[in-house]
Copies of this chain bind each other. A is one copy, B any other.
């Protein structure tokens, strides 16, 4: 299975308007890789990752995501749904081009942006849900597990597969995974670099529900968010924080150290070489098409 296949054919603008409600965009004019809309009827925000072909997470996309997350909170949205404009990839994870022969300042900004986006999402005061309408390896799994609810379309894969490519999932990737699945399952899966199929992910609780279409996935997320309609939002936020404050504080206190570990990891000659070979392969493949 090639989860990195080109999906340029799915233009973002072709996404059908799901509801009759009007939606308004809160995105700044500079939004390049995301679409951010708030449904005026439900008050629910939808953040659509839109960086074809595979929503690779680069500095700009991560920065936009964080800004959208902050906007959703500031605007007191009822909840936030994250999904993808692609019909085969939720996100393929971190953009290798950010890590291959990187410029010092850029790569630091990149990792810091990932930390900031994750802290914003994992600690968000509003209900968060992932409509996983495509593959979600590595960074894709990180985003999904940072949400409070996950629904997935069939026949895709999700997991922290870092060990397969010779790197180590940072501690906070693991912590968020452990917030969702039992420790026994997590240890085996993450050491193996296991990518769960949708059915396997559902079986172990890594995703909560499975539906057949993106529309149904969005609807499930809306149902989840609606389950809080009688709940005091302030009390809800403080309660959620009780479950997540430890991981957030740990990363906050270790940001610089976490950055240095990441840099030490990717700057190893063997890792740089592996990335180079991989990217060369992608280029050749791209030319053939």
> A236 at the A/B interface (Cβ < 8 Å)?
yes
Bound form: Cα–Cα A168–B166 in Å: 41
Taking the closest CB of chain B, its distance from the CB of A20, in whole angstroms, is 28
Q: A residues 217-265 with Cβ under 8 Å of B?
A: 227-228, 230-232, 234-236, 238-240, 242-243
Which positions 173-223 of chain A face chain B at CB distance < 8 Å?
A: 174, 178-184, 186-188, 190-193, 205
Q: Taking CB as reference atom, which chain B residue is nearest A166?
A: B232
Interface residues of A (CB under 8 A from B): 127, 148-149, 162-169, 171, 174, 178-184, 186-188, 190-193, 205, 227-228, 230-232, 234-236, 238-240, 242-243
CB pair B230–A169 under 8 Å, yes or no, is: no
Q: A163-B232, A193-B231 are in contact. List 20 more A-B contacts (CB 8 A).
A: A148-B188, A148-B191, A149-B188, A164-B230, A168-B242, A174-B239, A178-B183, A179-B183, A180-B183, A180-B184, A181-B184, A183-B243, A186-B243, A187-B240, A187-B243, A190-B239, A191-B228, A191-B239, A192-B228, A192-B231
Alpha-carbon distance between A235 and B266 when the two chains are bound, in angstroms:
12
Residues of B within 8 A of A167 (CB): 232, 235
Task: Report the separation of the CA atoms of residues A187 and B174 in the bound assembly, to the nearest whole angstrom.
Answer: 17
18 A-B residue pairs with CB within 8 Å: A148-B188, A149-B188, A162-B235, A163-B236, A166-B232, A166-B235, A168-B238, A171-B242, A174-B239, A174-B243, A179-B187, A180-B184, A181-B184, A182-B205, A186-B243, A191-B231, A192-B227, A192-B231
Contacts of A127 in B (CB 8 A): 191
Q: Which residues of chain B have C-beta atoms less than 8 A from A239's C-beta?
A: 162-163, 168-169, 174, 190-191
Please determine whether A205 and B184 come into contact, CB atoms closer than 8 angstroms. yes
Chain B residues closer than 8 Å to A179, beta-carbon distance: 183-184, 187
CB contact under 8 A between A163 and B243, given known A168-B238, A187-B148? no
- CA gap between A168 and B232 in the complex, in Å: 10
For A169, list chain B residues within 8 Å (CB).
239, 242
B163 touching A231, Cβ below 8 Å: yes
Bound-complex Cα distance A174 to B245 (A) = 13
Contacts of A232 in B (CB 8 A): 163-167
Q: Which 10 pairs across A and B sit closest by C-beta, in order of nearness?
A: A166-B232, A163-B235, A168-B238, A163-B231, A187-B243, A168-B235, A191-B239, A163-B236, A166-B235, A191-B240
**Complex Cα distance A174/B241, Å?**
12
A178 cross-chain contacts in B, Cβ below 8 A:
183
Q: Which residues of B contact A163 (CB under 8 A)?
A: 231-232, 235-236, 239
Docked complex Cα distance between A236 and B174 (Å): 13
A175: nearest chain-B partner, CB-CB: B242
